[in-house]
A and B are shown apart, each in its own frame.
Chain A
Amino acid sequence: MAKYILRRIGFMLLTMLLVSIAIFLISEVAPGDVARHILGQFATPEQVELLRDQMGLDQSVVVRYLDWLVGNDWRLWRLVGKPLRYTRVGQYDSPSWYAVEADGTLKQWRMKKGTGLVEIRISPDGKREEFLFEDWQIAEDGSEIFWGVDTADHVVLWRKGEEAQKVGPASAGRTMTEASGVEYYPLRKGLLRGDPGISLRTNKPVGPTLVRRLRNSFVLAGIAFVIIMPIALLLGILAGLKEGRAVDRTISLFSLITTSVPEFASGVFLILLFAFWLKVLPGAAVFVSDVAPFMQPKLLILPVLTLTLVEVGYVTRMTRASMIEVMNAPYIRTAFLKGLPYWRIVFKHAVRNALMAPITVIMLHVNWLIGGIVVVESVFGYPGLGMYMLDSALFKDINAIEAGAMVMVALAVGTQLVADIIYTFLNPRIRYT
């Protein structure tokens, strides 16, 4: 069994690797220039070129993929000659990259208009000082150069004499004020080390937003899951036991119809019914902040109900099919012929075997649940991960899309692994081989 589980974990890691490549390729290599997209229609070719350089888009796909996945500070620190650290100085500052001296002093460099290159030193006790930089190195061609870290998280090559300020256009929260270097390498810690990068849409780090949104979605999906499972399993078992009878037909028809209606349609029906006509519940688009769902739990009712309607039918149908199969199995016939009471047969002999198959399918269905969440969140304007993904997709915010997608896929694959492990524990045939 250990072998089986290790094999599953191996497959999961392999799947995640393939998924990360796929996500990266689809979103980064897809037609359309990201830099042009960010800068808008009116940017000059030079400006686009500069942004491409700053974003590292001029490097090869493989390098960019590895940077995105595992970061590049461990590679780029050689250029600077000092270890690099991603850290937060003041309590309210956003974290940034620094070069670290042996004594713990953090350093950044900045080209100051009219003055030249300025070195920013932050000593371990938090004191911040600025000095005019003079330690230029002589390059092979004789020019004076310096590799350093700028204040916008790039490793930059400055050349003395080429200090002209190039100012890029501002767009969507992103300001391009400092662009004085000759070469740029954007510093990243990498997705695997917990840094998905900066959102192109908001110009803020993706990570913290993602966490908040994920929590909100968990609340929504978790409540739905807790409601769906007992109802669906119960209905499925009941329908399976009464195969072909009126109870079964009613349950089957009901579950087929509710699963068939798309989430956005059932959401619309529910809003119209409860919010518009009956006026008993709040409807859509009233979540103003990321924490709103906790302030007003009533707001959760309709989104949860919508999710439940769509998902409950699917699980019911799976359970029903499995129950019917098991009840027709020869060992259930044996149980009957042993003269066991009906409910003992159902609960002891049938249910356990009947739930074994759906459990994998149900867990697989977490995929659908996640998909459903995207739509439901969009219908109700719920500030969850799904909504975040949709907004990012509409904006082509590739950093956010990539990170969000990886999180979602990891969740989906993770639940599958959990399902596999539960299955092995339920199924002695796998457990004892």
Chain B
Amino acid sequence: MQQARSAPILKVQDLAIAYETRKGDITAVRNVSFEIRRGETLGIVGESGCGKSTVAFGIVNFLGRNGRITGGRILFQGQDLVGRSEEELRRLRGDRIAMVYQDPMQALNPSLRIGEQLSEVLVVHRGMKRKEAEERCMQMLQRVYMPDPASVMRRYPHQLSGGQQQRVVIAMALLNDPALLIMDEPTTALDVTVEAAVLDLVEELQKDFDTAIMYISHNLGVIARVSDTVGVMYAGELVERAPVVDVFLRPHHPYTQGLMRCVPRLGMDKASSYLYPIKGRVPPPDHLPPGCVFEPRCPYARPACCETRPELRQVADGHWARCLFAEEVAQSVWAPSDEVPARLPAIHAAAADDKPLLVVRDARTYYEVPSRQLMGRKQLVKAVDGVSVEVRRGQTLGIVGESGCGKTTLVKTIVGMEKPTGGEFEFMGVDIAVPVSKRSLEVIRNLQMVFQNPDSTLNPSFSVGQQIAWPLRRFRKVPHNQVRGEVIRLLEMMKLGERYYDRLPRQLSGGEKQRVGIARAIAGLPAMVLCDEPVSALDVSVQAAVLNLLLEIQAELGTTMVFIAHDLSVVRFFCDYIAVMYLGHVVESGPVEAIYAPPYHPYTEALLSAVPFPDPTVEQKSIRLSGSVPSALNPPSGCRFHTRCPRKLGEICERETPPWQDAGNGHRIFCHIPLEELRKVEAVVTVPKKTDN
């Protein structure tokens, strides 16, 4: 047994993969070596474009028409997969090696029934009869905790929720009891509570099936949670490989260190800590630096780094790093470079003015959707249903919640892109319960927004300069001949500089686009900026830079902000006040420290226990919500959370709307459970005392 355990299921040696393009072959992945043993999970982490998925598809040699393996060996259970015929590989795929990847909706064939898609795996690989195969599939569905497997078998993919679809895909992968399971961002498209449940499932199944798992993710938190060993990839190379705790606590590669420094950890806030972004950007695969690939961005770079390409070498027991000076890097006390300001001016000082800038009372926004019945009446989606929030000048309100909770609708209603159905909206003392077209230019100027998706935030047809110039001319009536200078001043404030003036959006990276979007939003010097997940589509190293930029703007201009996010660490770091939303309601609100400590609203508690924190030493209670978020078309009566609440009291939760309970210091909880009870709940997340770093 022990012998079998030590033999690796998968051993990859010096793997190199290239894609054929018009400009010639481009090597996307090179010198990648790792191994995975039975029952072990190897987490592969890295930013977008670093070659993680290419490695995954390379293992099963499914690289599309223009991709091919150009070097190295892939030993699967001792046999080399490189150079095998398509037919031999086909027999392995779906049988010995299974894959699960992002976006389960796309992964399932929309026009075939689930049962059909599951059972054909057994029919093809095991030669099972259809009946027998279906029996086995239903057992497997039961195994992944799918309610009512028999009916699921008859359904089509679009009739399942995202979490259910992912369970189907996982069941499909496990049908043949594969030796190796490759999971490529399997939970990225899911909400945190659903993600947590899927991750639990993966963990449990791994124990039962003793499968070797290769888990790919860009999310350091998820990687910290699932992995035994972690491989860090950068620009097509594996730069560090070590047991999970070592990678997170004792990183030996400067890139890994950089990653750890730019994600907000639990307990960090903007007043006492700073996120240190990694300078520069990932080099494109056809323009790699001659020496170490990380050299241009490395704070420790020395002349030798430009010349020699370092090998992956063992720097401690079981700890491998691709750095010439790994030992020194790990030891040395890192100091921020000069570009980083020592400390930001105190932000709270601006909040001297105690009058709220924005007051929202009992906001309601409903949408009409056509009925599904033949002659049915139109139905109402109550996206926002009775929300009250206040934001004081100079402060930041964070709104958190899972998709569909109404946070984006609330913001859209505030900026006037959605028509409120009811409630009071007051901004700078002016009633703003009207669409944009009926607002005064002054109100419009003072209320601007930063968007989530960097690829859609800028108009692709106009240069950066033109896009920033328009709001300048519109809101500040900047004279024609001074516009350019003013735009450049703004670009410099965004750390972009004049050379960006004539660039088109497609020539910018995601982070740069987002900065231009911010510049455009603040061009009119607004009193308040609403940020809708401004960093969630960005890579972690870029996230930090954008967050810092927003903080600087706030410090410099005293801008008030509303910040929507689903990442609780980011919100914790960035915001002063937080409102937690569930299904159109705010269930808890208060100062940031209060939200992360008991008393919790049961939903906040579940949310906190579900969020993967980028720290393997963090201890989290495991509270999992059953079922999925009910439809806003027909929200549950009484407390909307009662259908999933692990602390449900009884009938009262179903019948009566809960009261707002004041826990002091502006901390309010929307729950029937008495405060004293809630106070007794112990903290969900405990961070052990840091010993080093």
Contacts and interface: CB of A to CB of B under 8 A. Distances in A.
A295 interface: no
A25 B275 CA distance: 72
Given A337-B98, A338-B172, A339-B90, 15 more contacts: A2-B374, A330-B103, A331-B107, A333-B107, A337-B62, A338-B93, A338-B94, A338-B121, A338-B124, A339-B92, A339-B95, A348-B120, A356-B111, A428-B110, A428-B156
Given A341-B124, A428-B158, A429-B158, A334 B93 contact: no
Contacts of A338: 93-94, 120-121, 124, 172
In this complex, which of B60, B93, B111, B124 has the most chain A Cβ atoms within 10 angstroms of its Cβ? B111
Interface string B75-108: 0000000000000001111110011010100111
B331 interface: no
Contacts of A353: 109-111
Contacts of A336: 62, 93
23 contacts: A2-B374, A330-B103, A330-B106, A333-B62, A334-B107, A334-B108, A336-B93, A337-B60, A337-B99, A338-B124, A339-B124, A339-B125, A340-B120, A341-B124, A348-B120, A349-B112, A353-B111, A356-B111, A428-B156, A429-B110, A429-B156, A432-B158, A432-B159
Interface in A315-368: 329-331, 333-341, 344, 348-349, 352-353, 356
A336 B61 CA distance: 11
A433 B108 CA distance: 18
A201 to B, nearest CB: 47
B156 to A, nearest CB: 4
B373 interface: yes
Contacts of B106: 329-331
Contacts of A246: none
The 3 A-B pairs at the shortest CB distance, nearest first, are namely A339-B94, A339-B93, A338-B94
A426 interface: yes
Interface string B363-396: 0000000001110000000000000000000000
A334 B90 contact: no
A175 to B, nearest CB: 56
Contacts of B172: 338
B110 A331 contact: yes
Contacts of A329: 106
Interface residues of B, number: 32
A6 interface: yes
A337 B156 CA distance: 20
Contact of B109 (A244, A331, A433): A331
Contact of B111 (A337, A341, A352): A352
A335 B374 CA distance: 37
A202 interface: no
Contacts of B107: 330-331, 333-334
Contacts of B93: 336-339
A411 to B, nearest CB: 28
A427 interface: yes
A259 B385 CA distance: 57
A337 to B, nearest CB: 5
Contact-size category for A: 20 to 34
A6 B374 contact: yes
A75 interface: no
A127 interface: no
A336 B121 CA distance: 11
Contacts of B125: 339
Nearest to B159: A432
A349 B157 CA distance: 14
Nearest to B373: A3
Contacts of A433: 372
Interface of A: 2-3, 6, 244, 329-331, 333-341, 344, 348-349, 352-353, 356, 426-429, 432-433
Contacts of B109: 331, 334-335, 349, 353
Contact of A432 (B91, B92, B156, B374): B156
Contacts of B112: 348-349
Contacts of A432: 156, 158-159
Contacts of A335: 109
A427 B157 CA distance: 12
A330 B91 CA distance: 20
Given A338-B120, A432-B156, A3 B90 contact: no
Nearest to B91: A339
Interface string B142-182: 00000000000000101100000000010010000000000
Contacts of A330: 101, 103, 106-107
Contacts of B101: 330
Interface string B115-142: 0000011001100000000000000000
A423 to B, nearest CB: 11
Given A3-B374, A329-B106, A338-B120, A426 B92 contact: no
Contacts of B108: 331, 334
B372 A340 contact: no
A341 B87 CA distance: 8
Nearest to B172: A338
Contacts of B169: 334
Nearest to A433: B372
Contacts of A349: 109, 112
Contacts of B60: 337
A279 to B, nearest CB: 49
Nearest to B375: A3
B607 to A, nearest CB: 30
B125 to A, nearest CB: 6
B55 to A, nearest CB: 15
A337 B158 contact: no
Nearest to B125: A339
Contacts of A340: 90, 94, 120, 124
Contacts of A428: 110-111, 156, 158
A426 B110 CA distance: 11
Contacts of B111: 352-353, 356, 426-428
Contact of B90 (A341, A352, A427, A429): A341
A11 B374 CA distance: 16
Contacts of A429: 110, 156, 158
A333 B103 CA distance: 13
Nearest to A334: B107
A356 B158 CA distance: 17
A334 B57 CA distance: 12
A297 B111 CA distance: 43
B671 to A, nearest CB: 36
A433 B62 CA distance: 35
A341 B103 CA distance: 24
Contacts of A331: 106-110
Contacts of A348: 112, 120
A245 to B, nearest CB: 10
A331 B99 CA distance: 12
Contacts of A426: 111
A347 B373 CA distance: 35
B115 to A, nearest CB: 13
Contacts of B110: 331, 353, 427-429
A243 B60 CA distance: 23
In this complex, which of A331, A339, A426, A428 has the most chain B Cβ atoms within 10 angstroms of its Cβ? A339
Nearest to B124: A340
Contacts of A337: 60, 62, 93-94, 98-99
Contacts of A356: 111
In this complex, which of B91, B95, B156 has the most chain A Cβ atoms within 10 angstroms of its Cβ? B156
A8 to B, nearest CB: 13
Contacts of A6: 374
A352 B156 CA distance: 15
Interface in B234-267: none
In this complex, which of A338, A341, A426, A433 has the most chain B Cβ atoms within 10 angstroms of its Cβ? A338
A322 to B, nearest CB: 13
A335 B62 CA distance: 12
A428 B109 CA distance: 11
A84 B351 CA distance: 90
